[in-house]
Amino acid sequence: MSSIVDSLLTQSQAELDELFSAHEAGPIPEGEARGTAIVAPGTSFSDEIAKLINVFAWQGKVFDAQSGTLRNHILPLGLKAIIAKVYKGPSWLDGKECIVLDYSDTSLVAHWIRDEIRLIAPGVYLGKVYWSKKRLIDFALEFDV
């Protein structure tokens, strides 16, 4: 985990929302990104929850910008599954352009999920997860640059 992602785990939800809103979408990413779930932001539990999720559930995403898709890197076995369409569109948070990760037409298990990401630093995207327009959690994606 980079120091940027470490700092995200200490920020409040309002600070994460402000950071997301302050940045442009950036380019649709390409390749493999390490993921960090940001649950209970700004609390002492955020780092421990992120580590547990990373080991047992979700490790990141693999983007194919040319096809406009991604696969999630999940489970301790490192499966590349749960496909999403990737495109630019308005954010549900602030209406400004973001990169949308849309599972509605590509996944039976996650068809109600929509992620939004924006580039906040070189190789680092901040993301929001929605379940049928209800905000769930935030996450970070780190690409090697």
Q: Which parts of the chain are beta strand (E)?
A: 31-38, 58-64, 69-74, 79-90, 97-102, 113-121, 124-131, 134-142
Task: Express each pLDDT in 126-145 by its tens digit.
Answer: 999 999 999 999 999 999 98
Q: Domain containing 129 — which CATH number?
A: 2.40.160
Question: Residue 31, SS3?
Answer: strand
- Give pTM, 2 decimals: 0.90
Task: Express each pLDDT in 53-94 by its tens digit.
Answer: 776 678 899 999 999 999 998 876 667 878 999 999 999 999
pLDDT at position 56, please? 66
Number of folded domains in the chain?
1
Over residues 95-121, the mean pLDDT reads: 93
**Single-letter code of the amino acid located at 25:** A
Share of the chain above pLDDT 90, in %: 69
Q: Which domain holds residue 24?
A: 3-142
Q: Does position 1 have pLDDT exceeding 80, yes or no?
A: no
